[in-house]
Amino acid sequence: MIYDSYIKYYFLIGFLFLIFYAEKKFPLREAEFFRNKRFLMNFLFAATSYIIARVFSYPIIYVFRGLFGDIHIGLFKYIHLNYLYILLISFIILDYSQYIWHRFNHIIPFFWRFHKVHHSDSELDSSTAFRFHFGEQFFSQFFRFIVVILFFIPLEFVLIYDFISLFFIIFHHSNIKFKYDNIFSNLIVTPYIHTIHHSKEFNELNSNFSVIFSFWDRIHRTLNKRPDISNIKIGLIEMSERDAKQFWEIFFWPFKKKIF
Ligand SMILES: [Zn+2]
């Protein structure tokens, strides 16, 4: 299947080229600082996180499933539904769990140390979608195991969700002025509403946590659709506008006693 083979990388590269083209042709915001330096830094975060994710993510799910497989826990062990229904429900559960996990990353100081790396980007475009500290990826996998075990979600569906959500994550981080943004943002996370999540303002930073479906934010009253984002300040309040730090410096942030 596409989501489980090297073909997915062709889809990913093709999609990225499409996004790069759209970002150049229809930018949502004009300001761009240190584009090349940011690209390199985001790539380095992607490379280090990818290795960790490959090593720990799915093998751990297999181990957990091997250990807990015979124990009678997990919702889908009890309810017998058609394959498509389980796929749909699993998809919704996984997306909701991503919303909760993202909120945890902002509320719990320990997790914020890692997630802060993602928010330290002084601009926002498709490359920011790859700027995640490996520590955040690592802990997110543990949260994921709990969800997978509680609901007994088939591993295949986890792979499908991850494959699809990656495209959404790249899309909502991109700097694209999207014509129907206002309509689509009622259902899915669009570049406009995710840009608000990357604001330096505390109230905006703590809004729009959803990953694929935006209704989780609506349900939890964390949806923020400020009418104009042309003068939005992106990044961390502690960092100055043109403060592009070195990769290794930011890489070790989570392990420092005091970051700033
Ligand atoms: Zn965030």
User: How many whole angstroms from 49 Cα to the centroid of ligand 1?
Assistant: 17
Higher-confidence residue: 222 or 55? 222
Q: Where are the domains of the chain?
A: 2-255
Cβ–Cβ < 8 Å for 58, 141: no
Residue 137 C-alpha to ligand 1 middle, in angstroms?
13
Report the separation in Å between the CA atom of 102 and the middle of ligand 1, taken as the mean of its atom positions: 6
**Could you tell me the distance, in angstroms and rounded to a whole number, from the CA of residue 153 to the centre of ligand 1?**
25
pLDDT of 126-156, one tens digit each?
999 999 999 998 899 889 888 888 888 887 8
Looking at residue 218, its pLDDT comes to 96
Q: How far is the CA of 116 from the centre of ligand 1 (A)?
A: 8
pLDDT tier at 166, thresholds 50, 70, 90? very high
Average pLDDT over residues 219-235: 90
Q: How much distance in Å is there from the Cα of 194 to the middle of ligand 1? A: 9
With a cut of 80, say whether residue 245 has pLDDT above it: no
**C-alpha 198 – ligand 1 centre gap (Å):** 7
**Cα of 210 from ligand 1 centre, angstroms:** 9
| pLDDT above 80 for 235 | yes
For residues 194-202, give the mean pLDDT: 95
Task: State the distance from the centre of ligand 1 to the C-alpha of 121, rounded, in angstroms.
Answer: 11
pTM, to two decimals: 0.87
Q: What is the pLDDT of residue 117?
A: 93
Mean pLDDT (the chain, rounded): 85
- Tokens 């759209």 sit on residue: 22
